[in-house]
Each structure stands twice: as structure tokens, then as C-alpha cells.
Amino acid sequence: MRNLKVMMAYRGTAYHGFQIQNNGITVQEIVERCAGKILNEPVTIHGCSRTDAGVHAKQFCFSVQTNSRIAPLGFVRGVNGELPKDISILSCEEADPGFHARFSCKGKEYLYLLHCSECKDPFSIDLACHYRRRFHPELVYEAAQHFVGEHDFRSFCTNCAEKTNTVRRVHSFDVEIEGDKVKMLVKGDGFLYNMVRIMVGTLLDVNEGKIPADTLDAIMAAGQRKLAGRTAPAHGLYLNRVFYNEEELKG
């Protein structure tokens, strides 16, 4: 039995997230169907993350075991030939038998994309969050540094069970400006449900003066979701990179 490590990208607009669900079509469902057709056997793919409905991925890893002797390049070409236009296989390589896309992952980087303008951009609908307010990059960047380090992020998690371990380490939180686009890039060992979207929403509330930046540590320490800011819309969020090497994650 071979174990393949596969990278893909997808536009999440049409899907109810990555993981198979009963209430809508998902990326996993589509990829398993197309990969099974090329490998000529039923397959189950193991993803590196569970993305929400409408969330995108620039780099998403999955592992899959197969008896097929297909070459990695043949897998890429064959599966891409079956997939819809909003999902693409980027690469495929042989992996050790013990490799698992989720459990072998050392960390992830998420991108949140804002389109800052009074007018909407028809070319970024469902691909960036339209934000009409004036954006203060220095204020937001300084506020974002409160999230860097190891903290209990229970205040920034949706529906976290009481016994859930909510301590995570954020390695960096950057804010980049490109014309009328704002990129927020957050890198960490792991993330809770809706954690990035709540952090971004909270930073937007800081930007608008609704939450003072110097209260973020207290909000974090309180462990109460109601004290943090809004949950930013899903369509501005991308899984940007996945790391299987500690040096790349911390670099």
C-alpha cells in the first residue's frame, strides 16, 4: 500500500467546507470521487484541516493510501482532468507509511483578505471581504501583536466545549497593504474553530474604535467569547500554507 502526500488549492465558494457533511457538497467528497476514478479504487483522503463553508485554500495538504501504481505526475494530471475548475491538484509525492496530512502537520498560516474601498470590486466578490471603513494599518498591526505567543484563546473560539484545550501558539501576525487590498497573515501551531475569523473581526473592531487595543490581553484572559469582537465573514479567509517542517514554520 502506497501513501501519497498531495497538495491542492480550491475556491471554497461553492462548498460546505472541506470535510464530508450531510447538508451539502464538500471539497472532500468531490476530490475522493475524482481520485477514486483515476486510481480505479474507492479512496478516503485525509485532510490537513477542516475549512468552513466559503473558506478558500491556496495550499491544502491531504494524504491518501492506494494500491495503484500510478506515477505522482500521472495522479496530478489525471485527477485535475476530472476535477471542476475551482479545485486544482498542485503536487503529489510519495510519503512515508506513517505520514498523515493532519497529524504530521506542524503548523499553518492563514490569510485574511480585505478589499478596502467605498465601492465593491466585482472581481473579488466571494474572494475578499469588502470593508468600507478607513483602515489604520499601524493601529491594527500593533493590536495584532497581542495575539503572538502562547495564550489561551477561548475568547476567540466559537462553541468551545468546557474541557477543550484552548491554548495555542501564534508565531506571527502580519498586516500587509497592497493598494486597496489588506492582507492579514497569521501563522501558528494550530487554530481553534473560527479563531482566525474572530481575531480578524476583533481587530476590525479595534480599527473602528469599538474595542480599545489595550484591552485585548484582558479579553484573552477572561476566556469569554462575548467579550471579543465580531466573526469576520468566511469568504475573506484562506488557508495559505501548511508546514511539515519546524524550521519553515518558525522562519
Give domain 107-250's CATH architecture.
Answer: 2-Layer Sandwich (3.30)
DSSP string, 95-128: --TT--TTTT--EEEEEEEEEESSS--TTSTTTS
Tell me whether domains 2-94 and 107-250 share a fold. Answer: yes
Q: What is the mean pLDDT of residues 196-203?
A: 98
pLDDT, residue 250, reads 79
C-alpha 219: how far from its chain's center? 24
Tell me the C-alpha distance between 18 and 242, whole Å: 15
Q: Identify whether the C-beta of residue 41 lies closer than 8 Å to the C-beta of residue 96.
A: no
Q: What average pLDDT is seen over the chain?
A: 96
Q: What is the mean pLDDT of residues 205-212?
A: 97
Domain ranges, ordered by start, for the chain:
2-94, 107-250
Q: How far is CA 134 from the centre of its chain?
A: 26
Q: What is the mean pLDDT of residues 7-21?
A: 96
Instruction: Mark whether 52 is an active-site residue.
Output: yes
| Average pLDDT of the residues in 97-111 | 97
Q: In this structure, are residues 61 and 5 in contact, taking their beta carbons and an 8 Å threshold? A: yes
User: What does pTM read for this prediction?
Assistant: 0.95
Q: Which of 8-12, 164-168, 169-173 has the lowest mean pLDDT?
A: 164-168
pLDDT of residue 164: 85
The arrangement of secondary structure in 2-94, i.e. its CATH architecture, is 2-Layer Sandwich (3.30)
Distance CA(73)–CA(121), nearest Å, equals: 37
How much is the pLDDT for 161? 80
pLDDT tens column, 15-33: 999 999 888 999 999 999 9
In terms of pLDDT, which residue wins out, 69 or 246?
Answer: 69
What would the mean pLDDT of 126-148 be, rounded to a whole number?
Answer: 97
User: Is the predicted pLDDT of residue 251 greater than 80, yes or no?
Assistant: no
140 band by pLDDT with thresholds 50, 70 and 90? very high
pLDDT in tens, 68-103: 999 999 999 999 999 999 999 999 999 999 999 999
Report pLDDT for 247: 82
